[in-house]
Homo-oligomer: A and B are copies of this chain.
Amino acid sequence: MAGRSLETASPAGARPDPFPAGHRPVPAATVPAPTSRVLHKADLHASLRDPVLDTMTFLNEVTLRYPEAISFAPGRPYDGFFDTEQIFTHLRRYLDHLVAQGATAEEIRTAMYQYGPTAGQIREIIADSLRVDEGIDVPAESIVVTVGAQEAMLLLVRALVSGPDDVLFVVSPCYVGITGAARLLDVAVTPVEEGADGFDCADLEAAILRERARGRRPRACYVVPDHSNPSGTTMDLPTRTALLDLAERHGILLVEDSPYRMVSPGRPLPTLKSLDRSRTVVHVGSFAKTVFPGARVGFAVADQQVVDETGRTGLLADELAKIKSMVTVNTSSLSQAAVAGTLLAAGGRISALNAEPARYYGDAMRTTLRGLDARLPAARREALGVRWNEPTGGFFLTVQVPFRADNAALTRSAQEFGVIWTPMNYFYPQGGGDRALRLSTSYLTTADIEEGTARLAGFVEEMSAGS
């Protein structure tokens, strides 16, 4: 079913008078024929001409144009773990929880229907979950519930970057959500590129010193330590502690975003936030992969103290909530209830909720790697100049190819080979990654992965021959 058929068509048949007595609008005066307003894109905000905001549009178009193609593009959770009726169960569980907490019927009605607290109404439940699952022990007051991790990123960029001299570093290649949010706010992020072995603290330190020497003010660095999007790399424990130390020494914050750790197999490394003893880390949370994306619930843990010129102190979370009041006012009460109800079903243990999905995604990654290896064995890929990394979890891996993996190549791949992927170039804020592609392994069935890797190998062979 295409997107549009999920929207309703007008009900067939004659319509009764839609206006109750007294509500019929005054008829519009007869006016001349329309002369439609045309706006010029060049007059709109520059972010709308930034490739970052166009990449998703292009990917969607390709996907719609070639519906038979197998797509390794979307970083979506697998649908098979969802069950429509469970929505009612989760909502009911949260309502029952409120009753058990002693809320009256009127209070529950208000919690579900009214404007809610800007910072969210399930902060205690999230704080409990972080404590039992992640060893992150923070007061509920330091949490702001957001419309997905995306809103949290926007709030953080806005709070932390006050003008063109403030520097926000991103480990590059980098999730488009952070560069896109920055772009909307006229903030140019400063990339610190991963090497072949992943992120290196020395590169960040060099970048900090370079920006300082230019008179700029390093403020924060955005990192995805676990199974990063797009490259699939994971930061090892020594790098995590070294990064914390570096950030402390230079007085910058670390913005940690880690949506994939609980949907990955095996024992996760500790989050930066759980290692943080100096409130150096702002942790961004997402329930998109661990509960469900449609809820659009995420959060930020921002327990940093903020002191104003009168000496009055508060939390960074309070400042983020103030910004949120001018972005979305508060997060949907229904969505918060559904997420809280899901967490309550497992005593807050997202790890337990995701034990089966984590196994599934681990299998999908291994199937993909095995499929690629079967079609492009070591000797063959060495001859072609093709290689890929072997992530231990997460949704993504990266394939280096000997040809430009751009939109034209993607179109050809979809049309002639029936397989879709994401150009890695999309994830480099200042260019790069021209000869690499990202594969997402999370959304496909095993059969599609088998067939998809075969098609991809065919495409890579053909393109490599021509390169």
Contact = CB atoms under 8 A, between A and B. Distances in A.
A450 to B, nearest CB: 21
A60 to B, nearest CB: 9
A308 interface: yes
B5 A159 contact: no
A55 B315 CA distance: 18
A161 to B, nearest CB: 7
A448 interface: no
Contacts of A327: 147, 150-151, 154, 181, 184, 327
Contacts of A313: 38
A335 B29 CA distance: 36
Interface string A259-284: 00010011111110011011110000
Contacts of A202: none
Given A20-B352, A29-B241, A185-B185, 12 more contacts: A19-B351, A20-B351, A24-B267, A32-B277, A38-B306, A48-B159, A56-B322, A84-B95, A114-B293, A115-B293, A184-B323, A184-B327
Given A114-B79, A307-B41, A334-B334, A23 B351 contact: yes
Interface string A231-273: 0000001000100000010000100000000100111111100
Contacts of A45: 158-162, 323
A57 to B, nearest CB: 7
B322 A6 contact: no
Interface in A85-110: 87-88, 91-92, 95, 97-98, 101-110
Nearest to A305: B38
A84 B1 CA distance: 32
Given A41-B306, A270-B28, A82 B113 contact: yes
Interface stretch (A119-127, A203-211, A380-388): A119-127
A88 B85 CA distance: 11
A105 B33 CA distance: 45
B109 A79 contact: yes
A328 B147 contact: yes
A326 B177 contact: yes
A386 to B, nearest CB: 30
A467 interface: no
Contacts of A135: 25, 27-28
A88 B341 CA distance: 14
Interface stretch (A10-18, A191-199, A364-372, A411-419): A10-18
A47 interface: yes
A201 interface: no
A102 B8 CA distance: 10
9 contacts: A3-B117, A19-B349, A23-B352, A34-B277, A35-B248, A37-B280, A39-B307, A151-B327, A334-B335
A329 interface: yes
Nearest to A122: B7
A305 B79 CA distance: 36
Interface in A28-83: 28-29, 31-48, 52-54, 56-57, 74, 76-77, 79, 82-83
A183 interface: yes
Interface string A292-325: 1111100000001111110001001011001101
A338 B334 contact: yes
A108 B133 contact: no
A462 interface: no
Interface string A334-366: 110010100010011101100100100000000
Contact of A48 (B54, B111, B322, B344): B322
Contact of A326 (B10, B150, B288, B351): B150
